[in-house]
Chains A and B, each alone.
Chain A
């Protein structure tokens, strides 16, 4: 008699699960269609059509041709508003009719310019873009125009190098994170609960298959599916919306590796929910408790920098925040996996916590 192969059993489950996922409308809609729709909608708002309205304070130094003011004026998506009174500007800023008010002061000693910029919570999303733009620009100015002084250490991280930060560069990694989160949490929870309730797992146990084969087989199928989804989203983003891939294919591979880390952690939430849920109708509310806060707070659509500090504190706990951050570092800043070790470390801590809970709560039958 041939020796029993656990690998073969695992792969058989992976193939079955993959086929099943591909034929499940909800999985395809959540992982491919939704992120794509979000990207199309937001990238079209974010490209060309978007303008960040910045009020120029009366005290602002607009004089010289080579000044900071002129450089900001060159940025196409920034629209400068000079004809309002200070009171009007303050009012419009509150309402979000202006996205920011800036005031540049010139000095004879370094720093030669100081830029005071006032953002508004009424326009947090655009301010995220503006803040990124300015960050990049300041770095450029500090490193190019200043041969005497060393560039400031904090700014060194933002190696923007004059590339335009498009909204697609922000939204696409966020959408990848969202896709992984929903596939990992909803998909895993639904599949394992339904396999348990319909006694599919029990029937599996009547064969010589090992428990770990079932978990690994399912995970493998979901990973391959998520990778296909990620490649699809990246391809569409790259060719149709000009998504930036700093190191080309290497960046894509790094993003896929990050996707795998993210998916494994999010699947852990799915395992926990499938264990707690009594029936299929309790899965959506439980899954939403996990996914919605991360969806909204983890910098999927707009930068968390716009949040008040208490909300940022909350965002700084969530795993998707770190996955999104790592994705953006890798995709746009060109960081390798070694450059996002801080994010990976926190994701690692999440992994340990989640799976410790999952082992306790998961039910086989």
Chain B
């Protein structure tokens, strides 16, 4: 099956004053995949995402989302995407149910809080406040708000940062489930094991440039073929496997 690009970024440049955050990057995201933007802090990942999300003006370059240009069709694009921001809060003093209703109003969509919270297994937290949720619950709630408008693409900016291994695995399952329902997922992360496990394709961003874009397996094969060897003998399990085996796979509510 030929892969259809749903996001196309061409020579994207973004300057903040004299500082060049993004220096002419190009890539495509295919319809129905989980695409990872990887790279160290300050590499330009979040800036790139925010330009695609129509939250920031680009300096130059071309970006199309689902066939729409970010130059003219910001409102239409906003109706087709779901955005989870890094470290974003929610309206104070409201419970999850009320927050979902608020977002339904903002998107102009009729959905019930029960339906949306059910999708992320937070039905029993409908009356809880966002600030009282555990880290994993917060991220799942954020993802629920991105799904309200039945988006074609959702953007997740470091959704697993700060989560314990169980919560992280639980979130991976949720993200895969969303992908399996036909939604394209664009994700940023600092965890390479996560990218390897979760992403269909990844792009490495460094210093405002893309330094590589491929499937995780292909990248690894290439590196091995070039003669790379880990210094330590490869063990058949790692410490996280030990953690999960000792503490169990079930995800705990905080």
Contacts and interface: CB of A to CB of B under 8 A. Distances in A.
A and B interact? yes
Interface of A: 1-2, 4-5, 8-9, 11-13, 15-17, 19-20, 23-24, 194-195, 198-200, 202-209
Interface of B: 53-55, 75, 78-79, 81, 83, 85, 87-94, 98-99, 101-108, 145, 149
A20 B92 CA distance: 6
Contact of A13 (B85, B106, B107, B108): B106
A209 to B, nearest CB: 5
Nearest to A217: B105
5 contacts: A20-B94, A202-B55, A202-B85, A203-B88, A207-B103
A13 B105 CA distance: 8
Contact of B78 (A15, A24, A208): A208
B98 A207 contact: no
A200 B94 contact: no
Given A9-B106, A13-B106, A205-B55, A198 B94 contact: no
A198 B108 contact: no
Nearest to A194: B92
B101 A200 contact: no
A199 B78 CA distance: 17
A20 B106 contact: no
Q: Which of B54, B78, B149 has the most CB of A within 10 A?
A: B78
Given A4-B75, A19-B94, A24-B93, A11 B105 contact: yes
Contacts of A16: 91, 94, 98-99, 101-102
Contacts of A4: 75, 79, 108
A198 B88 contact: yes
Given A15-B105, A209-B106, 17 more contacts: A8-B105, A12-B101, A13-B102, A13-B105, A19-B98, A23-B93, A199-B87, A202-B85, A205-B55, A206-B54, A206-B55, A207-B103, A207-B106, A208-B79, A208-B106, A208-B107, A208-B108
Contacts of B92: 20, 24, 194, 198
A203 B83 contact: yes
Nearest to B105: A12
A17 B90 CA distance: 12
A199 B130 CA distance: 14
Nearest to B99: A16
B78 A207 contact: yes
Contact of A5 (B53, B88, B108): B108
A9 B149 CA distance: 14
B91 A202 contact: no
B140 to A, nearest CB: 16
A199 B85 contact: yes
Q: Which of B91, B98, B149 has the most CB of A within 10 A?
A: B91
Contacts of B107: 207-208
Nearest to A209: B106
B172 to A, nearest CB: 23
Contacts of A209: 106
A5 B106 CA distance: 9
